[in-house]
């Protein structure tokens, strides 16, 4: 069975994943845990958008996220499940629209990724860890507000990523529409 991606695509996906993980380590210590996704979304959105623009096919988000999820499985099955679910929701929504060749679908993918990551992550943390996260579950307006905020900051990352895509396309270094 032939893979829809080339070796260069796999390598590019790995570098986008590394960029996302590195930016988490930069942002993580600077903000409270329940705000980390909102604060990280502009940086994560850049890498996610670049990956979707370069890879363009259905499954591009999964290609970037699932290897990380598998690597984290021995450390935290909960994080692995969270990453799988978030990328699965994103891929399912964008699947209905086609692929990641157009900006609109990349925007949709970015927003769905960060909104679903917030909702799935905070609900999971509330149920598994309790404490302050469990308190968030009693305040659905706050959970919804954080999800909207993550969608907005993810959109900022998408916009920055699309500007980079445009520059790379002009330079002949990226084949995205």
pLDDT tens per residue, range 3-37? 888 999 999 999 999 999 999 999 989 999 889 99
Q: H or E element: which one contains 98?
A: none
Are 42 and 49 spatial neighbours (Cβ–Cβ below 8 Å)?
A: no
What's the rounded mean pLDDT across residues 57-71?
94
Q: Show the 3-state SS of 6-59.
A: CHHHHHHHHHHHHHHHHHHHHHHHHCCHHHHHHHHHHHHHHHHHHHHHHHCCCC
**Spatial CA neighbour of 52 closest among 156, 149, 162:** 162
Measured distance CA(93)–CA(19) in Å, rounded: 24
pTM (two decimals):
0.92
Tokens of 86: 């978030």
If DSSP codes are grouped into helix, strand and coil, which group holds residue 90? helix
**Residues 76-89 pLDDT 10s:** 888 899 999 999 99
| Closest C-alpha to 34, from 153, 158, 134 | 134
Band (pLDDT 50/70/90 cuts) for residue 157 is very high
Q: Which pLDDT belongs to residue 72? A: 86
């Amino acid at each position: 069975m032939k893979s829809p991606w080339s070796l260069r695509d796999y390598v590019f996906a790995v570098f986008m994943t590394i960029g996302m993980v590195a930016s988490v380590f930069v942002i993580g210590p600077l903000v409270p845990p329940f705000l980390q996704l909102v604060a990280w979304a502009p940086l994560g959105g850049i890498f996610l958008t670049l990956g979707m623009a370069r890879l363009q096919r259905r499954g591009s988000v999964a290609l970037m996220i699932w290897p990380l999820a598998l690597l984290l499985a021995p450390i935290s099955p909960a994080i692995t499940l969270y990453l799988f679910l978030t990328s699965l929701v994103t891929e399912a929504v964008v699947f209905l629209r086609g692929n990641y060749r157009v900006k609109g679908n990349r925007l949709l993918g970015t927003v769905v990724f960060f909104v679903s990551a917030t909702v799935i992550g905070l609900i999971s943390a509330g149920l598994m860890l309790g404490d302050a996260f469990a308190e968030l579950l009693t305040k659905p307006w706050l959970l919804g507000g954080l999800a909207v905020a993550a969608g907005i900051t993810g959109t900022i990352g998408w916009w920055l990523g699309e500007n980079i895509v445009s520059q790379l396309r002009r330079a002949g270094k990226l084949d995205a529409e």
